[in-house]
Chains A and B, each alone.
Chain A
């Protein structure tokens, strides 16, 4: 069974541009979570989607947005990129939103903003 897949693996952008990151959850999982991990730091919760709806949002500006598609895959968009947006962006999925339980993580997308 395929795990959580993320693309692209690496992405280089310049300040002011937009970045789009993609995530495919494990088959049968309806919840998708996005986290930001800046270099050497812990994970900061960004967004949680379930059944196509945004269920919760972390303390990030509105230029961080996303969506979940009918097949439960998800997209994270970061507009007007700033240097401090450089980070590893991790996607995770879980089978249900009844309780979080274990999260299954992808390998991440490393975004570099120059």
Chain B
């Protein structure tokens, strides 16, 4: 399968705690992206990290990429109830021009 896999499938934390989600993939990539999806709605782009980058920050988000292990992690710091959503990683494989999405992590932030 070309899809990545997120881990864990579901995560429940208290407001204010940090949330870490992991993504593993199988092929060489141009970039890896993280998206958020609120309950059955469209996806919203969060952050893109290129294959030659190791870490990237955007507000409360921190993404790391380890191409040798074919894995990425998304850290959300100081979580809020509004962060409750599903989070997907997506990979643009080398030579391809479309994204393949992982299976998602369902994050619940308890107020």
- Identify the A interface with B (CB < 8 A): 4, 31, 33, 35, 41-43, 45, 48, 50, 55-56, 88, 90, 92, 97, 99-108, 110
User: What are the 4 closest A-B residue pairs judged by CB atoms, nearest first?
Assistant: A105-B42, A43-B101, A42-B103, A105-B43
B residues contacting the other copy or chain, number (CB 8 A): 25
- Give the number of A-B contacts (CB < 8 Å): 67
B window 27-64: CB within 8 A of A: 30-31, 33, 35, 40-45, 48
**Majority SS of interface residues in chain B?**
strand
- Identify the B interface with A (CB < 8 A): 2-3, 30-31, 33, 35, 40-45, 48, 88, 90, 92, 96-104
CB of B42 within 8 A of CB of A90, answer yes
Known contacts: A42-B3, A99-B30, A100-B31. The answer to whether A56 contacts B96 by CB under 8 A is: yes
